[in-house]
Amino acid sequence: MKKTLIAATAMATLMTSAASAETIGVTMALFDDNFLTVLRNGMIDMADNMEGVELQVEDAQNDVAKQLNQINNFIASGVDAVIVNPVDTSATQAMTSAAEAAGIPLVYVNREPINVDTLPDNQAFVASDERESGTLETLEVCKILAEKGKDPANVYVMMGELSNQAAMQRTADIHDVIEAGDCAVELNILDEQTALWMRDRAQDLMTNWLTTGEPFDAVISNNDEMAIGAILSMKANGIDMDDVVVGGIDATVDGLAAMAAGDLDVTVFQDAAGQGAGALNAALSLSRGEDVEQKVYVPFQLVTPENMAEFTTKN
């Protein structure tokens, strides 16, 4: 299966007008998610600038059965292609089979389907390589801890939804950095638990950890929202943020604001708009019978206080 690496700037060059009216069904795992909102709006904005392209966008509300039903409804209504941001990446085979049986092209976006290596010829996957995300984050956290003279260092790990491939890979990246001996300090994980990608869940989880009284030096989060939740809890409990290193992923608007405030030490830019553009281009190409790369990777980029200004207009 072919792979490619496409930068966000390259995505823009792929924007072309449709020769005739085309309808693309889009089902998103959850509308109420900052990162996925940017991704969704990126697709909508792109379609608005293309003649003859219409998007039908649905919210699966984190319900696998509802998402599969939306896909079946898209197929029944005769859409030209379907774009799926899966609720559960381990439940995508049924989605693939439904679209394949109907001969409708399907593109997965952002979250890697469990069957990514066996997709039919008229299906594709557009995202960023999660092996980069947690690795970039963890290495930078290690670097900052070393600069602060915290060796060994105790850390807490906040995970996304355990049914999500990105959460599992980003957490595995942390362990891989430690096991490979690539961390600049000795990193001891005190605990790792899911906060379901959510700020309020992360705030509650961090508060629970704080009640143990266990000394810690860093929080490594699978995304910015959970990192912000941890920060809110720590600040509410009188912890000086200069004493704790906090890492996130996605470089969302709120994440960058937390970095500007001196609370978030590192994040990793995931190009939501670029992924959305790549998914829409792939769906349109497949609907026209054109060949596409089946795995399209948009690069992650490390974001620190030193270079954060470069990313403030990208989300």
- Three-state SS annotation for the chain: CCEEECCHHHHHHCCCCCCCCEEEEEEECCCCCHHHHHHHHHHHHHHHCCCCEEEEEEECCCCHHHHHHHHHHHHHHCCCEEEECCCCCCCCHHHHHHHHHHCCCEEEECCCCCCHHHCCCCEEEEECCHHHHHHHHHHHHHHHHHHCCCCCEEEEEEECCCCCHHHHHHHHHHHHHHHCCCCCCCEEEEEEEECCCCHHHHHHHHHHHHHCCCCCCEEEECCHHHHHHHHHHHHHCCCCHHHCEEECCECCHHHHHHHHCCCCCEEEECCHHHHHHHHHHHHHHHHCCCCCCCEEECCCEEECCCCHHHHCCCC
Reported as a single tens digit per residue, the pLDDT across 229-242 is 999 999 999 999 99
Distance separating alpha carbons of residues 20 and 53, to the nearest angstrom: 8
Q: Is pLDDT at 8 greater than 50 in this prediction?
A: no
Indicate the average pLDDT of the chain.
Answer: 92
Q: Which of 150, 168, 148, 149 shows the shortest CA–CA distance to 159? A: 168
pTM of the predicted model as reported, rounded to 2 decimal places: 0.78
Rounded average pLDDT over 47-73:
96
Q: Is the pLDDT of residue 2 over 90?
A: no
* Rounded average pLDDT over 273-282: 94
Check pLDDT > 90 for residue 52.
yes
Percentage above 90 pLDDT, the chain: 88
Model confidence at 1: pLDDT above 70: no
State the pLDDT at residue 20: 58
Average pLDDT over residues 223-251: 97
- The pLDDT of residue 314 is 74
Please, what sign has the CA dihedral across residues 231, 236, 237, 241?
positive
What integer pLDDT is reported at residue 246 of this predicted model?
Answer: 98
CATH number listed for the domain at residues 130-269: 3.40.50.2300
**Domain spans of the chain?**
3-128+272-298, 130-269
Average pLDDT over residues 241-268: 97
Backbone phi, then psi, for 163, in 5-degree steps?
Answer: -85, 0
Q: How confident is the model over 92-149, as pLDDT tens digits?
A: 999 999 999 999 999 999 999 999 999 999 999 999 999 999 999 999 999 999 999 9
Question: In the predicted model, what is the mean pLDDT of residues 215-239?
Answer: 98
Is the pLDDT at 3 greater than 70? The verdict is no
Q: What is the length of the chain?
A: 315
Residue 33 is predicted with a pLDDT of 87
pLDDT on residue 34 = 82
Q: Each residue of 27-37: pLDDT tens digit?
A: 999 998 888 99
Q: Give me the pLDDT at residue 15, please.
A: 42
Q: Is the pLDDT of residue 71 over 90?
A: yes
Res 68 pLDDT > 70: yes
Report how far residue 90's alpha carbon sits from residue 80's, in angstroms, rounded to the nearest whole number: 25
Confidence at residue 313, expressed as pLDDT on a 0 to 100 scale: 77
Q: Which CATH class is domain 3-128+272-298?
A: alpha beta
Q: Which residues, other chains included, contact 302 with Cβ-Cβ below 8 Å and sequence gap of 6+?
A: 136, 137, 140, 266, 268, 269
What is the average pLDDT across 292-301? 93
- Region 194-213 average pLDDT: 97
